[in-house]
Amino acid sequence: MAIAKAERLMNLALCLLGARRPLSKRELRDSIEAYVEAARPGRGEAARPGRGEAARPEKAAGSDDSFNRMFERDKDDLRELGLVIETVENIDGEIGYLARRDSNRLPPITLDAEEAAALGLAAKVWQQARLAGAASGALQKLRAAGLPEEVDPYEGHAALEPRIPVHEAAFEPLMLACRDRRPVLFDYRKASAAHPEPRHVEPWALECWRGHWYLAGFDRGRGAERVFRLSRITGKVRSRGTGFTAPVPDVVTVRETVAGWAGETADRSALIRLRSGAGYPLRAKAAKVRELGDGWDELEIPYGHGLDAWLVEFGPDVVVVEPAELRADVVDRLRAVAKG
């Protein structure tokens, strides 16, 4: 938010909270410097330079329109921020505005040491992301509202340094799109594809799983729910249209879907050959390992959906023995990478 606008909103809020009676638009306009400037002739959007006396009424009308639009936007912004503004008709028939203190007072906040520690750790999660300022500001507001100063949120948790890395440029626009329920358009490159493809998505939720961020939403082009890894989004995320066409589910199972891709929900076994001294993550998942000699080992790996994409990452160090369909999927992916 621009500093000038933030100052104007603060002044309007203070006027409304400090008034003993409803204040009219005219009184607010004359009391707040930014509104006085907006109401001066020649400052309005509708005002145009003119010549002689005939131009003056147009300037005045334009300045009034400019003030009215500014005031209505500011009033809506304050209400969105949580300020309760009442609209009252006074004795003279004018509409007045008032923010009663009893309607805008939060109940006392009481936190014990464990709750304070939890909030402190939650705020520290975002210290390496662009949300660091908002997280620190929220903690300061809680302290001002009753979080005891003597309580150290990190006491006893020195070894805990929670971090959620957010390196993808797509994170912030997608976070805002999820909040505002705005469809987005972006280019996405699948693991098996050589080139990215455009996706038109209704974003539902963002979730971090094992150091990577994923977006769940409704893919309009495919007419179904999809999950996207943010690191595979190329270029800018653009807003496209308004409103969702598909219902948002009560529970969005991002982690379960990604875990299925990674083979976490295993329902079968694969037999692969792995070069000796390579592929330690695969060895950690193996149910059986047998040395074959000549620099190769044989592994039996329980897996579910998505093992083919994972195996491709190990390149020539892995050879799939069975099942045949898994071997064919890995070969197809390698060929797609080679073409790119």
Dump pLDDT digits (tens) for 235-248.
Answer: 899 988 778 888 88
Residue with tokens 């204040």, as numbered in its chain: 23
- The DSSP H or E segment spanning 302 is strand 296-303
Task: Give 323-332 pLDDT, tens digit per residue.
Answer: 998 898 888 8
- Asked which of 238, 259, 280 is the last residue of a domain, the reply is 259
Task: Give 14-28 pLDDT, tens digit per residue.
Answer: 888 888 888 888 888
- The whole-number pLDDT of residue 227 equals 87
Distance CA 278, CA 296 (A): 10
Q: Is 324 exposed, middle or buried (0-12, 13-18, 19+ CB in 10 A)?
A: exposed
- The whole-number pLDDT of residue 317 equals 92
Amino acid identity of residue 160, one-letter, is L
More confident residue, 14 or 55: 14
- Asked which of 61, 79, 103 is the last residue of a domain, the reply is 103
Cα dihedral sign, 5-3-107-138:
positive
- The whole-number pLDDT of residue 295 equals 92
Do 82 and 55 fall into the same domain?
yes
223 C-beta neighbours (distance < 10 Å), count: 9
Q: What are phi and psi of 48, to 5 degrees?
A: -135, 145
**pLDDT confidence bin for 1, thresholds 50/70/90:** very low
Q: Is the peptide bond before 323 cis (omega within 30 degrees of 0)?
A: yes
When pLDDT is averaged across residues 240-259 and rounded to a whole number, the result is 78
Task: Give 81-109 pLDDT, tens digit per residue.
Answer: 888 999 888 667 788 998 888 888 766 66
- Asked which of 123, 140, 163 is the last residue of a domain, the reply is 163
Amino acid identity of residue 23, one-letter, is L
More confident residue, 254 or 29: 29
Do 241 and 282 fall into the same domain?
no
* Cβ atoms of residues 216 and 224 within 8 Å: no
Amino acid identity of residue 169, one-letter, is A
Domain range spanning residue 216? 171-259
- The DSSP H or E segment spanning 297 is strand 296-303
- Cross-strand pairs, 96: 24, 88
- The whole-number pLDDT of residue 50 equals 43
Max Cα-Cα span within the chain: 100
Query: Could you tell me the pTM of the whole model?
Result: 0.44
- The whole-number pLDDT of residue 6 equals 82
Do 279 and 246 fall into the same domain?
no
Do 96 and 111 fall into the same domain?
no
Mean pLDDT of the chain: 77
- The whole-number pLDDT of residue 153 equals 47
For the sheet with 288-293, list strands across it: 288-293, 296-303, 268-275, 318-322
Do 114 and 206 fall into the same domain?
no
**pLDDT confidence bin for 289, thresholds 50/70/90:** very high
Do 141 and 176 fall into the same domain?
no
Q: How many domains does the chain have?
A: 4
